[in-house]
Amino acid sequence: DDNRQSASATNATELSLVLDYTPNTNHTGIYVAQSLGYYAEEGISLTIVSPPEDGADALIGAGSVQLGISYQDVMANYLASSTPLPYTAIGAVVQHNTSGIMSRQEDGITRPRAMEGHQYATWNQDVEQAMIRDIMAYDGGDYSKIELVPYAVDDEVAGLRSNAFDCVWVYEGWAVQNASLQNFAYSYFPFIDYDDSLDYYTPVIAANNEFLAKNADTARAFMRATRRGYEYAASNPSDAARILVEAVPELDAQLVAKSAEYLAGKYIDDASEWGYIDKDRWARFYQWLNDNGLVETTLDVDAGFTNDYLA
């Protein structure tokens, strides 16, 4: 028994995966697959590494890791660059864009146009501001009436409480769960309620192109194991949360549990299977970027992703 395991361990294919960020519930499936031995069963020995801030994509592109977590919007920048990064999205972690705008409940910012006259904490990014402008327009609001203030906190709830700003871009699976955990009275509305174009894939699993070309089977094996992990997380959120916290004890166990609960229904959601990337939805967002002049060169709206490694 022991011998077999160590033998399989030595024969295992070594893979590295770089996270997009600090470990969080977006990554639960991967930690589950790691912890429950799904990767080992596929003959894969996976190393999960944390990235330097905003450095994950470059590392995937440079091939110093084979795999990583990225986002469709972030990938757009790299793909539309004059020196594009050689990488491809091979699966969606969460089916829909789960981000939106959170605010204090008493301010009544329940829809985009209600942001008028309020302070919005901006990350100062063109894509981000274009999205706000976009949903404001859809909702009949005037973007110029929003007061932009720099985003300078880590804790959106604390920022709202201290009146550092009135509304802020958040991920429902994390900051919003934090708010309800703290019994903070908030309002929240998602972007996708106002514009379908903004229903892009965030986050995604991305892989180095050369790796994909040379090791298609390994990539498929990896995705198989990963899918099992996310399926487990979807059906056993509290166990999955426990596994994540065991692997990363610095995380707040309560927040992880609550977030896992929320995300359980979001990993697969309405898709046929975990990880599937809808061609039209992908293209619609990239078209929107092209239309709004948010990329350096015009994007090939059908490029940058594949479902080939899912099966």
Q: Which residues bind ligand ARG (CB under 6 A)?
A: 21, 71, 73, 171, 202
Pick 46 or 310: Cβ nearer another protein? 46
Q: What DSSP character marks residue 173?
A: I
List the single partner that 49 binds among ligand ARG, another protein, none, CB under 5 to 8 Å by kind. another protein
Binding site for another protein (CB under 8 A): 18, 21-24, 49-55, 57-59, 61-62, 64, 74, 77-78, 81, 83-85, 123-127, 148-155, 157-159, 161-162, 164, 178, 182, 248-252, 255-256, 296
**Residue in this structure with the two tokens 């790691």, named with its chain if needed:** 34
In sequence order, which residues have a C-beta less than 8 Å from that of residue 45 and are 6 or more positions away? Answer: 9, 12, 13, 14, 15, 39
Residue 141 CA to residue 189 CA, distance in Å, equals 15
- Reference 75, options 277, 214, 224, 227; nearest CA is 277
Question: CA 122 to CA 63: how far, in whole Å?
Answer: 32
Q: Which does 91 bind (CB under 5 to 8 A by kind): ligand ARG, another protein, none?
A: none
Binds 73, which of ligand ARG, another protein, none (CB < 5 to 8 A, cut-off by type)?
ligand ARG
Residue nearest to ligand ARG (CB): 71
Q: C-beta of 307: minimal distance to another protein in Å?
A: 25
Residue number, 23 or 222, with CB nearest to ligand ARG: 23
- Which residues lie below 8 Å from residue 280, measured CB to CB, with a gap of 6+? none
Q: Which DSSP state fits 51?
A: P
How wide is the angle at C-alpha 259 spanned by C-alphas 111 and 286, nearest 5°?
A: 55
Residue 159 binds which one of ligand ARG, another protein, none, with CB within 5 to 8 A depending on kind?
A: another protein
Query: Which CB atom, from 128 or from 193, has the smaller least distance to another protein?
Result: 128
In angstroms, what is the minimal distance from the CB of 140 to ligand ARG? 25
Tell the smallest beta-carbon distance from residue 115 to another protein (Å). 18
Instruction: Identify which of residues 94 and 240 has a Cβ nearer to ligand ARG in the complex.
Output: 94
Chain-centroid distance of CA 212 in Å reads 21
Contact call for residues 88 and 306 (beta carbons, < 8 A) = yes
